[in-house]
Amino acid sequence: MSRIAKKPIVIPTKTEASFSGGVFTVKGPLGTLTKVMKPHIKFTIADGTIALEPTNTSLQAKALWGTYAAHIKNMIAGVNKAFEKKLIIEGIGYKADIKGKDIVLALGFSHTITLPIPADLAVKTEKNAILISGTDREKVGQFAAQIRALKKPEPYLGKGVRYSDEVIRRKQGKKAA
């Protein structure tokens, strides 16, 4: 049973929410987000709030109750203020450049890595940082994780791609005799 989903979700001004045909839609100043929802949860939109209620007492309905509440809160937050992830690139010769609709990464391999930037995300590069922003929290996090997975930070020198708030536990190297 979800404590989060028991409370109604407040819809801020300049934001509209609707549910029809199994698709939940949120429109706001920064755009529109849609998500397909399973019929295990009943959505009631009235008086500037959204109430969620499971249609039955199955385990799946109870699990989806809190999950869908979190998804809706993220959608509402995303159309009002964009989500951001910042990645830090550490290492000699490691860099990131944006060329057209692609991001080109040099991460110490014998070749550069080119990734297409998703259409609804904005990516900026600085000296040793990548800033990813967008309205959909899942897409921002997924693209950041995809970039990080190319060269995870290693524990001895800290070289690689890491999140700005991530702390890398450093190991001690070999000791001189």
The 10s digit of each residue's pLDDT in 140-153 is 999 999 999 999 99
Task: Report the pLDDT value the prediction gives residue 174, as an integer from 0 to 100.
Answer: 84
| Average pLDDT for the chain | 92
Task: Report the pLDDT value the prediction gives residue 4, as an integer from 0 to 100.
Answer: 79
Instruction: Judge whether 86 and 73 are in contact, CB under 8 Å.
Output: no
Instruction: Judge whether 52 and 10 are in contact, CB under 8 Å.
Output: no
The model's confidence at residue 1, banded by pLDDT at 50, 70 and 90, is: low
Q: Where in the chain is the domain with CATH 3.90.930.12?
A: 9-80, 83-163
| CA dihedral over 2, 139, 122, 113, signed as positive or negative | positive
Strand order in the sheet with 16-20: 16-20, 23-28, 31-36
**pLDDT score of 176 more than 80:** no
pLDDT digits (tens, 9 = 90+) for 111-143: 999 999 999 999 999 989 999 999 999 999 999
Task: Report the pLDDT value the prediction gives residue 11, as an integer from 0 to 100.
Answer: 93
**pLDDT score of 110 more than 70:** yes
Task: Report the pLDDT value the prediction gives residue 18, as an integer from 0 to 100.
Answer: 92
Cβ atoms within 10 Å, residue 42: 12
pLDDT digits (tens, 9 = 90+) for 44-70: 999 899 999 999 989 999 889 999 999
Q: Write out the two tokens for 136.
A: 């959909």
Q: pTM value?
A: 0.90
**pLDDT score of 26 more than 80:** yes
Class (C level, CATH) for 83-163: alpha beta
Give me the percent of the chain exceeding a pLDDT of 70: 98
Class (C level, CATH) for 9-80: alpha beta
Task: Report the pLDDT value the prediction gives residue 177, as an integer from 0 to 100.
Answer: 63
